Amino acid sequence: MTSYRGYAIRGDGRIKRGAYLAAATPVEAVHAAEDLCEDDIDHIEVWADAKKIDEVDCHDSEGDSGDSSSSASAS
């Protein structure tokens, strides 16, 4: 089973915190990562085990995940 983690990244590129994401698929993990956004967080990196699968832009006006990296996929 894949383990998903989200890392809250500040504007200076430093990690503020990491959290396990309760998700069964990469798409669910990206949606769960949106909850980690805070005022001082620039983006959330979403990882599946040792592979970065996506980023969530915390300053996106619509609250959607950003497309600044690869899209979530099951590969």
Joined together, the tokens standing for residue 57 give: 């832009």
- Point out which residues pair with 50 in neighbouring strands: none
Cα 45 from Cα 54, distance rounded (Å):
6
In a domain, 67, yes or no: no
Q: Which residue blocks in the chain are alpha helix, DSSP H?
A: 26-33
In a domain, 73, yes or no: no
In a domain, 33, yes or no: yes
This prediction has a pTM of 0.76
In a domain, 22, yes or no: yes
φ, ψ of residue 31 in degrees (nearest 5): -65, -40
DSSP state, residue 23: -
At 56-69, the pLDDT tens digits run: 999 875 544 444 44
- How many domains, the chain? 1
At 16-54, the pLDDT tens digits run: 999 999 999 999 999 999 999 999 999 999 999 999 999
